[in-house]
Amino acid sequence: MELVQIYQCLCDVTRLRLLNLLGQGPLCVCHFQTVLKEPQVKISKHLGYLKARGLVEAKREGNWMIYQLVSKASPELKANLACLQDCVREQAIFKADLARLRKADLSCSPIKADGQPVPRGRRCC
Amino acid sequence: MELVQIYQCLCDVTRLRLLNLLGQGPLCVCHFQTVLKEPQVKISKHLGYLKARGLVEAKREGNWMIYQLVSKASPELKANLACLQDCVREQAIFKADLARLRKADLSCSPIKADGQPVPRGRRCC
DNA sequence: TGATTATATTCCTTTATAGGAATGTATTTG
DNA sequence: CAAATACATTCCTATAAAGGAATATAATCA
């Protein structure tokens, strides 16, 4: 993947917020909606953008799509994601997002802490 | 400066090439033209773009405009420029640019090695 | 002062991107 | 199967950006 494409993915606030959250682990679309408080189209499109350019990957989990950072990232991508995490650490919007993520009910997501099988088919968000 | 603005500056190859060269020190516009082999408008516009967003600064030196990376860069900018330098080290285009830079006659630029006063008013490129 | 050199700006065209409304698709539940 | 839930896609509009041709500006030289 080209370096420029990485930067193209990083030059939108919504996408930075998505990537920031994904730094914590896999998430489903509705949780992004809940945390970012942005409309579904917006979230979905930006996730599609990131996926098309190989920054994230998605798998279907029952009714939900679970997104995560690509498992086999290039050195350039790794470096830039690390740099991003570092830059973002002090910034209000991103800290607030992480705070809301922690408070959110993630019961439909595979990142559930207790390791229980994910309860499927119930209302999520 | 916003983090997103930094990434906006980085999402174009020409600008990455400019920044890569500026990592070596200040340069005048005509040297960018020589090294990148791109038309003057293109170079000038991208430098203007970088300047408008605070990644580079420029000063007039007689007939020439000397561009350099901003002296007082934010932590985010520093981090990302360092990351860029790192990512770019192995890539063909950027290595080739640096090679051409080394071979170029930089007599009209303040980065002249021997510290002599810059000869002004002569033909540069 | 007029010519030359270096650089910036304006104008125009093309393409990319963001955002939202509406609609489509997949999956699960009852 | 019908309804509900989660998500994607299409269509449209507005705005930004890239690139080039032509022109303008600034400084220097002869």
| Beta strands in chain B, from DSSP E residues, in sequence order | 27-28, 56-61, 64-69
Distance from C-alpha of A2 to C-alpha of A9, rounded to nearest angstrom: 11
Residue A81 near residue A19, CB atoms below 8 Å: yes
Q: Give, as ranges, the nucleotides of chain C with any atom within 7 Å of a protein CB.
A: 4-10, 17-22, 26-29
Distance from C-alpha of A64 to C-alpha of A47, rounded to nearest angstrom: 14
pLDDT digits (tens, 9 = 90+) for B48-107: 999 999 999 999 998 999 999 999 999 999 999 999 999 999 999 999 999 999 998 776
Distance from C-alpha of B96 to C-alpha of B35, rounded to nearest angstrom: 9
- C-alpha torsion sign, points B61, B63, B69, B72: positive
Residues 52-111 of B with CB under 7 A from strand C: 58, 63-65, 108
Q: Which nucleotide is nearest to B123 (CA to C1')?
A: C5
Parallel, antiparallel or unpaired: strands B64-69 and B56-61: antiparallel
Domains detected in chain A: 3-103 (1.10.10.10)
pLDDT digits (tens, 9 = 90+) for A3-48: 999 999 999 999 999 999 999 999 999 999 999 999 999 999 999 9
Count of Cβ atoms closer than 10 Å to residue A114 Cβ: 4
Angle between helices B13-22 and B3-10 (to 10 degrees): 100
